[in-house]
């Protein structure tokens, strides 16, 4: 089985070819950081136009890398949401056009499902059910992944996503965009106990996340502390919140095969090692995809497409693009 995957829901344009037996034959990606950096965040209109320009050449390059043609593909998988609607439409319409032209089935993939199943692309031994901490720029959720198309949301954020908190903190500290990697680099030079910051909802019986208060506290402290100390203190507070909520979910989830992390924020090594320790304390396997598979990419969309296609789940050519689409 060979699946072409397309991703365009935020600020990465990507195309990939993945087989049913987990071979990534090609994955091409074009980031738009430079286009958005002057604005300190992703500008939807700029993103959509950039996807229009980038996607077709990326698909052609990916097919060439893999040494295949569209005729060799079994299905075309495209992100159909959630995300910035202009970009989602570009990728989905391109996917529909390719599927129609080559007479192949379309798989309309939820971007979150792409993140949720991506650990199974890099780890053939990862079985359902597993507890997934999905931490990205737009989402912060704990999901019980029971099977393909079977997800139970145990927690979500009541305000900002974890990646959003990293990005806003970077902006406050003048560290640039995208914020996550910049904050992590600055934090390596700082003292995590230098600035007392709140841990919103810590030990609360409610399962959810909250980061708005933490971000506000960083803004209030910004004039009185070195950016490196603030970055380190902020990162430590995020780690404490993520671990506390994940521990609570593990206690309530029932038996799971592994603790899994995915999404762009999973690239953070402090967060990874804290989760690894939590998994070890619960006698659980810890699974984290390689960094390139954590941040947005098309291989995860192709893989989710492969899993759905194998389960008989394809979509009509009038499948809608959705800005909001809970799993």
Distance CA 101, CA 95 (A): 10
Cβ proximity to ligand KG4, 166 vs 325, nearer residue: 166
Q: What is the 3-state secondary structure (H, E, C) of 276-306?
A: HHHHHHCCCEEECCCHHHHCCCCHHHHHHHH
Conformation bin of residue 234: beta by default, left when phi > 0, alpha when psi is -120 to 50: alpha
135 is in an annotated binding site: yes
Q: Smallest distance, Å, CB 289 to ligand KG4? A: 11
Cβ proximity to Zn ion, 8 vs 136, nearer residue: 136
Site string for ligand KG4, 217-256 (x = CB under 6 A): ----------------------------------------
List 184, 229, 307, 315, residue binding ligand KG4 (CB under 6 A): 184
Q: Smallest distance, Å, CB 275 to ligand KG4? A: 13
Residues 31-90 that bind ligand KG4 (CB under 6 A): none
List 81, 91, 178, 289, residue binding ligand KG4 (CB under 6 A): 178
Whether residue 150 contacts residue 144, with contact meaning beta carbons closer than 8 Å, is answered with no
Pick the stretch among 25-33, 35-43, 133-141, 269-277 that binds Zn ion (CB under 5 A). Answer: 133-141
91 is in an annotated binding site: no
Interhelix angle 212-221/162-172, rounded to 10 degrees, is: 10
3-class secondary structure, 275: helix
Beta strand 150-155 with 140-147: parallel, antiparallel or unpaired? antiparallel
List 7, 160, 229, 296, residue binding ligand KG4 (CB under 6 A): 296
Interacting residues of 133 by C-beta distance below 8 A, sequence separation 6+: 141, 142, 242, 246, 259, 260, 261, 262, 266, 275
Whether residue 137 contacts residue 164, with contact meaning beta carbons closer than 8 Å, is answered with yes
Q: What is each CA distance from 216 to 40, 175, 192, 200, in whole angstroms?
A: 18, 17, 18, 11
Conformation bin of residue 170: beta by default, left when phi > 0, alpha when psi is -120 to 50: alpha
Q: Does 8 bind Zn ion (CB under 5 A)?
A: no
Cβ proximity to ligand KG4, 3 vs 165, nearer residue: 165
Q: Does 303 bind ligand KG4 (CB under 6 A)?
A: no
Q: Does 7 bind ligand KG4 (CB under 6 A)?
A: no
Q: Does 138 bind ligand KG4 (CB under 6 A)?
A: yes
Q: Which residues belong to the annotated binding site for Fe cation?
A: 111, 115, 296
Q: Which residues belong to the annotated binding site?
A: 111, 115, 134-138, 167, 180, 184, 268, 296
Q: Which residues belong to the annotated binding site for substrate?
A: 134-138, 167, 180, 184, 268
């Amino acid at each position: 089985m060979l699946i072409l995957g397309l991703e365009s829901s935020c600020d990465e344009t990507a195309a990939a070819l993945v087989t049913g037996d987990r071979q990534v034959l090609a994955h091409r990606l074009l980031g738009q950081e430079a286009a958005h950096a002057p604005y300190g965040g992703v500008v939807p209109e700029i993103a959509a136009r950039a996807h229009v320009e980038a996607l077709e050449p990326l698909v052609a390059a990916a097919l060439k890398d893999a040494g295949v043609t569209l005729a060799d593909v079994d299905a075309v998988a495209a992100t159909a949401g959630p995300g910035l609607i202009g970009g989602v439409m570009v990728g989905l319409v391109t996917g529909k056009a390719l599927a129609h032209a080559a007479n192949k089935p379309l798989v309309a993939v939820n971007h979150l499902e792409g993140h949720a199943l991506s650990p199974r692309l890099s780890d053939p031994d990862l079985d359902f059910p597993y507890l997934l901490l999905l931490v990205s720029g737009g989402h912060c959720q704990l999901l019980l992944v029971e099977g393909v198309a079977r997800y139970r949301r145990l927690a979500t954020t009541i305000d900002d996503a974890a990646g959003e908190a990293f990005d806003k903190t970077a902006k406050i500290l003048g560290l640039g965009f995208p914020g996550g990697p910049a904050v992590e680099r600055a934090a390596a030079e700082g003292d995590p106990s230098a600035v007392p910051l709140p841990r919103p909802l810590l030990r609360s019986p409610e399962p959810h996340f909250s980061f708005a208060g933490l971000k506000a506290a960083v803004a209030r402290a910004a004039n009185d502390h070195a950016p490196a100390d603030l970055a380190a203190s902020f990162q430590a507070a995020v780690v404490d919140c993520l671990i506390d909520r994940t521990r609570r979910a593990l206690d309530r989830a029932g038996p799971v095969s592994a603790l899994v992390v995915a999404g762009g924020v999973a690239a953070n090594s402090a967060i990874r090692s804290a989760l690894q320790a939590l998994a070890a304390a619960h006698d659980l396997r810890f699974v984290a995809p390689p960094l390139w598979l954590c941040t947005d990419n098309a291989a995860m969309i192709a893989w989710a497409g492969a899993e759905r296609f194998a389960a008989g789940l394809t979509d009509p050519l009038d499948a809608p693009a959705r800005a909001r689409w809970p799993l």
